[in-house]
Amino acid sequence: MRAVILDALTRAQAARFAALDPLLPEPAPPPDGAVLTAALPGGERVAGVVVRTLHQPGAAQTLWSARDVRELHPIVGGTGGAGVDALLSRWRQRLEPSGPDSSCVVTWPSRDAEATAPLLAHGFVPLTVLAARTGRLPLGTSVCSVRRATPADLDALVDLAMAEVEYAALVGGGIVRPDARAIKRATVSGHLERGDPTWIAELEGVAVGMVEAWETDAQPGSWARTRVRAGRWVFVNCLSVLPSARGLGVGRTLMDAVHGALLGPRSAGSFLYYNPPNPLSPTFWARQGYRPLWTVWELRPADALR
Ligand SMILES: CC(C)(COP(=O)(O)OP(=O)(O)OC[C@H]1O[C@@H](n2cnc3c(N)ncnc32)[C@H](O)[C@@H]1OP(=O)(O)O)[C@@H](O)C(=O)NCCC(=O)NCCS
C-alpha cells in the first residue's frame, strides 16, 4: 500500500477517534511489523500492522498473557466496523499456525461500538479494559490502617499479589504458571527496591490488602503516550484484597491512599487495567470514578481466530 494512502487512513482514523472519545490520545504512528491490507466491497482499502512478541519463561507478562502474542494494529481510517471486519478476515487468511500458549490481540477504543460486532464474530473477547479517571472524588472514611510497605513486608505482599493472580485466572486473562509465585516475588521486590509506591492495608495487625501505583509521564515515544493524552498520570498496577476481607471497604481505603498521595494539581488523572468478566472489579472501579478508554480484545490460542 502506498505511503500516501496509509497516511490518509491514519489521519482519518485520528479524526474518528477524536470524535468518539475526547480522552483518547492522538494515535501514535504504527509500529514496525508485518503489513496487512484488505479491500472493502466498495473498493475502499484498509491496512494493519501485526507485531509478534514472544515472552520468555519467567517474564512478568506471562502471568496475564500468552507467551506467543500476535497483536494487530488496525489502520482502518473512517471505515468503522466494515473496515475492521475486512481486516480481521484478511488476518485469518494470513495467520501462521501457532502453539497452545498463543494469542491474537487488538487494542481498540472502548467507545467504538461499531467495531464490537466484527470483533466478536471473529472470535475475540473483551478480556481487558484500560480505564481512566480524570476527575476527583471525595475521600471516604478509613476502615483499616494503611501504610507504605517496606521490604520487610515482602512475604505478605507476595501472598496478596498471588490472591489477585489467582482471582484473575478464574475471571480474566490471568495464568497461574508453575513459577507464578517466584515471578511475583521478583516483581514485587523490584518495585520495593526502586521505591515504587506500594501500600499495605492491615486489620488488627494482619495484612489484608495491597496496592501498587506510581506516577508516569505520558511523553512522546513513551508507552503511556500510546494509551493516554500527554501529561503526568498515575498508573495503578495491582490492587488486591484477601478473599476473607473483601466487601468491607479495604479496597476503597487503599485507593483513597493512592489518590490522596499521588494525584496533585498537575496530574492529568489516573489509569489502570481490569478484566470485564471479573464480577468484583468493574463495579469497584466505576464507583472509584474510572471508565473504559481502551478495550483489549483477545483470543487464545491464536488459531481460534475465525
Ligand atoms: C476488587 C477488590 C480489590 C475490591 O476490594 P474490596 O475491599 O473488596 O472493595 P470495597 O469493600 O472497598 O468495595 C467493594 C464494593 O463492592 C461491593 N461489594 C459488596 N459485597 C462485596 C463482596 N462480598 N466482595 C466484594 N465487593 C463487594 C460493595 O458494594 C463495595 O462498594 P461500596 O463500598 O460502594 O458499597 C477486591 O474485591 C479484590 O481483591 N478482588 C480480587 C482481585 C481483583 O479483582 N483485583 C482487582 C484487579 S483490577
b/e sequence 165-204, b meaning 16+ C-beta within 10 Å? bebbbeebbbbebeebeebbbebbeebbeeeebbbbbbbe
205-246 residue pLDDT tens:
999 999 999 999 999 989 999 999 999 999 999 999 999 999
Global confidence as pTM: 0.95
> Which class does domain 145-288 fall in?
alpha beta
Q: Which three cell numbers stand for residue 90?
A: 484478511
Q: What is the pLDDT of residue 1?
A: 67
Q: How far is the CA of 16 from the centre of ligand 1 (A)?
A: 35
Atom of ligand 1 at shortest range from CA of 274: 48
> What are the residue ranges of CATH 3.40.630.30 in the chain?
145-288
50-98 residue pLDDT tens:
999 999 999 999 999 999 999 999 999 999 999 999 999 999 999 999 9
Domain 3-131+298-304 has CATH 3.40.630: yes
79 C-beta closer than 6 A to ligand 1 = no
**Percent of the chain predicted with pLDDT > 90:** 95
290 C-beta closer than 6 A to ligand 1 = no
Paired residues of 214 in beta bridges: 235
Q: CA 149, 151, 153, 157: dihedral to nearest 10 degrees? A: 80
161 C-beta closer than 6 A to ligand 1 = no
CA nearest ligand 1 atom 42, residue: 164
Q: How far is the CA of 150 from the centre of ligand 1 (A)?
A: 25
